[in-house]
Amino acid sequence: VCRTGMCSKCHVEYHNGMSCALYQMENGNDESGLREWMRRDPENRKLCPNCFAGMEKNGGCQHMTCLECKKHICWICMDYFNTGSECYGHMGRVHGTFV
C-alpha cells in the first residue's frame, strides 16, 4: 500500500546489491550472528567479494566457489572469476600456486 521497497527474502527494506546478512550486520540487526561467527576465525571466514555471503574455508586449495552467487574466488587475494579455469589461471600467474 505504501509502495516502500522490501526485500522478499529477509522482509526488511530493500538493500540493492547487498546480501541480507551483510545488510543486517551493517545495520546492527545481526540476528544471524554473522559478525560473531566471522570474528572467531577471521583467517578462515570471509565474505564473498561479489555478493557478501559468508564463506568458510576448512582445508583444500585456495580456490573457493560461493554457494550464493557461484563466483570462483581466489582465497589468497579475494579476486573473483566466472569460471574455475580463470581462477586457477590467476592463482598460477599471480600467486605461483593454488595450494
Sheet with 72-74: strands ordered across: 63-65, 72-74, 80-81
Residue 95: how many CB atoms within 10 A of its CB? 14
> CA torsion 15→33→74→7, rounded to 10°?
-20
Establish whether 61 is a catalytic residue.
Answer: yes
Of 48, 51, 61, 74, catalytic: 61
**Cβ–Cβ under 8 Å, residues 72 and 58:** no
CA distance 89 to 30: 37
Catalytic residues: 61
